[in-house]
Amino acid sequence: MQWIPVAPAETIPAGQAREVRIGDLSIAVFNIGDRFLAIENRCPHSGDPLAGGMVVDTTVTCGLHHWRICLETGLVVKPCIEGTPQVRTFPVEVRGGMLTIDPDAVQTRA
C-alpha cells in the first residue's frame, strides 16, 4: 500500500468534506464524526463533485440531482436503479494527525 498524506485531519470538521487531489484524481474526504471516509469526488449520474454535498450519517447527497451515495460502499442508495455504477471508495487513515489515502487500493463492495 502506498499511503499519501493529503491534509491535516483537523482541517475537516465533523459532518463536512474536503476535496483533495492526487495527481489527476479528485477525492472527497468526509469526516463523519468518529472516522473519515474517502470516495471519488464525482457523482456517477452527472459527474458533479460530491465534496459539497449534504452529509447525513454515512451518506452524501449530490447537490444537483439529489442522488444519495453511501460513503462506506460507494453504492447509490437513491434512486434505486438496477445497474447504477457505484462510486470508487478509498482507504483513509489518520497518521500523526495527517489524513493519508492509498489511491491505488480502490475498495469495491457488492
pLDDT digits (tens, 9 = 90+) for 52-82: 999 999 999 998 788 999 999 999 988 777 7
Mean pLDDT of 74-102: 89
**Grid coordinates representing 4?**
499519501
pLDDT at 106: 62
Task: Please state the pTM of the whole predicted model.
Answer: 0.89
Mean pLDDT of 18-35: 94
CATH topology of domain 4-101: Rieske Iron-sulfur Protein (2.102.10)
Nearest residue to 90 via CA among 77, 110, 74: 74
pLDDT at 45: 84
5 CB-near residues (< 8 Å, 6+ apart): 95, 98, 99, 100
